[in-house]
Amino acid sequence: MFHPTVFDNIKTAFENQIYDLDNLDGTLMVTDRADLLDLAMMSREFSLSFQLTEGGNVTSEIVLSSTLKDLGDEILETPDTIPGCNLRLRFYMEIGDVETECLAIQDILNSIWGPELTPVQSLSFIYGQESETYNNCIELKFKRQITEEQMEDIPNLLKHLLQSAEELESL
């Protein structure tokens, strides 16, 4: 019989709670979902993107990933290892005033997530297209692996994620 991995269990927990916020609460609308298996690297990545129903300027994304080593350590029950996966949160939005808005974004996310998660902002634009805005991809990367021990923290993490999206919408 198939025994789900830590990656599968955490992925399912995120899916269930995000889809409840979409279908039951109406707080958000899921806009994209990907569940990828990289056969060259033998890694997995799951992402779920959404926008707040009372917004639309910010897209939030949860990205969960697992490497071959993570999976191998879990299946082989390698001593002195704790099975887990990596978690990143991303926010996508357009900004106009780079200096002011990037600093405001950093302040918002630091006040919600604390100094442990430093937001990395990557700005882009389409060359040759006249526009006064930049696409901003803001990423928060958790420094340690997420294990099944943290599954009970997912509702609180989602509250912080929704609060982040709401405050970024207000910029």
Query: For the chain, what percentages of helix, strand and coil (3-state, to nearest 5) are there?
Result: 35, 30, 30
pLDDT digits (tens, 9 = 90+) for 15-52: 999 999 999 999 999 999 999 999 999 899 999 999 99
Of 12-21, 84-93, 124-133, 150-159, which range is least confident?
124-133
pTM of the model: 0.93
Nearest to 8 by CA among 62, 49, 65, 50: 65
pLDDT digits (tens, 9 = 90+) for 58-70: 999 999 999 999 9
Q: Name residue, tokens 């019989």.
A: 1
